[in-house]
Amino acid sequence: MAKTIYVLNGPNLNLLGTREPKIYGRATLADVEKLCRKTAADHELGIVFRQSNHEGQLVDWINEAHAEKAAGLIINPAGYTTTSIAILDALFILEVPVIEIHISNIHKREEFRHNSYVSKAAHAVICGFGVHGYALAIAGLAALLGAKE
Ligand code: DHK
């Protein structure tokens, strides 16, 4: 049976493509989903791809990934990166690799974006590659899982 990974996206990422394009680019969330589905398929991984503006919903989906025995989880926590202990605690429950991703280079930006709680549960962090970072995250996760390269 194919291994399944979760790709979760936090607040305001529904507006990708029109939201501050100088920072986040012109690709929409639908484009990102397409890229993720293709990259996952290339590595023979199943994928659950979701976005929510609500912290509790993201926590529920992380719990779901645990219950469904997902092989790994990629998360762009967006604005919850630096505030959400609830998301961090949910990630700590997972016994599979977590990859944190940001489209922009958060370290080049305002100070308040630098201190990620999520990083404390992450195997790896990718930031600054634009939406291509999602493909890198999936390829990296696939390598960790020993999936098809
Ligand atoms: C997205 C957001 O919405 C911000 O809150 C983060 C992140 C950066 C990104 O680069 O994908 O600070």
Phi-psi region of 17 (alpha: psi -120 to 50; beta: other; left: phi over 0): left
* pLDDT attached to residue 2: 85
Indicate the Cα dihedral angle 121, 125, 131, 136, nearest 10°.
-110
Using CA atoms, how far apart are residues 86 and 144, in angstroms rounded to an integer?
26
pLDDT digits (tens, 9 = 90+) for 50-64: 999 999 999 999 999
Q: What is the mean pLDDT of residues 114-120?
A: 97
Query: pTM, whole model, 2 decimals?
Result: 0.97
117 counts as catalytic: no
pLDDT digits (tens, 9 = 90+) for 25-38: 999 999 999 999 99
> How buried is 39 (Cβ within 10 angstroms: 0-12 exposed, 13-18 middle, 19+ buried)?
buried
Identify the active-site residue in 6, 43, 80, 102: 102
Going by CA atoms, what residue is nearest to atom 1 of ligand 1?
A: 78
68-92: string of b/e by CB count within 10 Å (b at 16+)? eebbbbbbbbbebbeebeebbebbe
Q: Are 112 and 80 in contact (CB under 8 A)?
A: no
6 counts as catalytic: no
Using CA atoms, how far apart are residues 61 and 128, in angstroms rounded to an integer?
25
pLDDT digits (tens, 9 = 90+) for 74-96: 999 999 999 999 999 999 999 99
